[in-house]
Structure 1
Amino acid sequence: MIGISSCLGGLCCRYDGQSKTIPELSVLVEEGEALLVCPEVLGGLPIPREPAEIIGGDGYDVWQGNAKVMTITGEDVTEAFKRGAVIAYEELKNLNISCIVMKENSPSCGSRAIYDGSFSGNKKSGVGVATAYFCQQGIDIVSETNWKTVLKENRQHGGN
């Protein structure tokens, strides 16, 4: 069993109330081979919600207290993002899930890139808050852009 960002599995839980469904991942959920998690919703944020970006670094910097997650109108939602990451991790851990496919560019789930904190659409290298926490806990992170290759390799080498 693997984990999947809920929006990739078909749930309309993004900040804009939409999903970014990848049909093949939805099938894994339907077949009971995947668990959907949305750290932002698990942290108590509504659907829809204001866009948020990490200001002052990336997800690792948030956990170190050197960066914050702020909405476009200036509300600090850092604690909700952190709380959601911890709750999502506990759900993954309870099912012995050690690999999760994450939504790229998200302030929670980005695994290679996130928005730069200027709310201008510009991206920078870095990871989201949940991704940083999952990595620190030993969860393997897979981007939505290369999930097929990584999961195929994982299965060939006896991974779950």
Structure 2
Amino acid sequence: MLKVLVSGCLGGAPLRFNATGVPVSSAIWQRWTSEGRLVSLCPELAVGFPVPRPPAEIVGGSAADVIDGRAQVHESSGRDVTELFQAAAQRALDRALQAGVGLAVLVDGSPTCGSTYIHDGTFTGVTVAGRGVAAEALRRRGIPVFAHDDLDRAAATLAELERRRPGGS
């Protein structure tokens, strides 16, 4: 059975930068929970960020640029936290590979977990199409990443991955 890596704040745990969680009300989520598929991880907490913590945004490029050392991640104070975000991405990837994850469902908008949009690096609330650093690292390794509000597509992809898997699920 393939597992699903999920952002630690999904399901309501108050782990986000502002000490909030993201509730998930879905039959798919409930089924995955009962099947023991969910592998919950907050990459930022895994590398030592506290709760609450200052907001952070990718500055000067994309998540791919952060991984490749061409862009940075800054907190709203201006503090450069690029190395911690790179480490958080690696921690998420390591956990996914160790747990036998088939795909990831991550909270959108985050500089770590965003899968369809992130903030634009100006700390003004403006969002742009893009991925967070951990989402980018997972995709680079061939692990599909879905936003937390796209569970139908995630479930369909997971079912297809299990059908194609040698020996089934």
Q: How big is the shift at 1:122?
A: 0.3
The amino acid that maps onto 2:110 is: S
SS where residue 23 of structure 1 aligns? coil
Q: Does 1:57 align with 2:52?
A: no
Normalising by structure 2, what TM-score?
0.87
**Equivalent position of 1:15 in the other structure:** 17
Question: Which structure is larger by alpha-carbon Rg, 1 or 2?
Answer: 2
Q: How does 1:1-160 map to 2 (within 5 A)?
A: 1-24=3-26, 25=29, 28-29=32-33, 31-156=35-160, 158=163
Q: How big is the shift at 1:137?
A: 1.4
Question: For the Cα contact (< 8 Å) 1:113–1:125, is it kept in 2?
Answer: yes
Q: Which string of whole-angstrom CA distances, capped at 9 and with x for unpartnered residues, describes residues 25-46 of structure 1?
A: 3663354221111111112111
Q: Which string of whole-angstrom CA distances, capped at 9 and with x for unpartnered residues, describes residues 90-114 of structure 1?
A: 1111111020001111000111111
Tell me the number of residue pairs that the alignment of Structure 1 and Structure 2 aligns: 160
Alignment RMSD (CA, Å): 1.8
The amino acid that maps onto 1:88 is: A
Query: Percent sequence identity over matched residues?
Result: 32
The amino acid that maps onto 1:32 is: G
Question: For the Cα contact (< 8 Å) 1:14–1:47, is it kept in 2?
Answer: yes
| More deviation, 143-152/130-139 | 143-152
Cα distance in 1 between the residues matched to 2:158 and 2:82: 33
Cα distance in 2 between the residues matched to 1:10 and 1:30: 17
Cα distance in 1 between the residues matched to 2:154 and 2:63: 23
Cα distance in 2 between the residues matched to 1:2 and 1:75: 32
The amino acid that maps onto 1:146 is: D
Runs (4+) off by over 6 Å: none
Cα distance in 2 between the residues matched to 1:153 and 1:140: 8
Q: Which string of whole-angstrom CA distances, capped at 9 and with x for unpartnered residues, describes residues 67-105 of structure 1?
A: 111000111111111111111211111111020001111
SS where residue 142 of structure 1 aligns? strand
- Residue ranges of structure 1 left out of the alignment (5+ in a row): none
- Residue ranges of structure 2 left out of the alignment (5+ in a row): none
Cα distance in 1 between the residues matched to 2:34 and 2:49: 25
The amino acid that maps onto 2:4 is: I
Question: For the Cα contact (< 8 Å) 2:105–2:154, is it kept in 1?
Answer: no
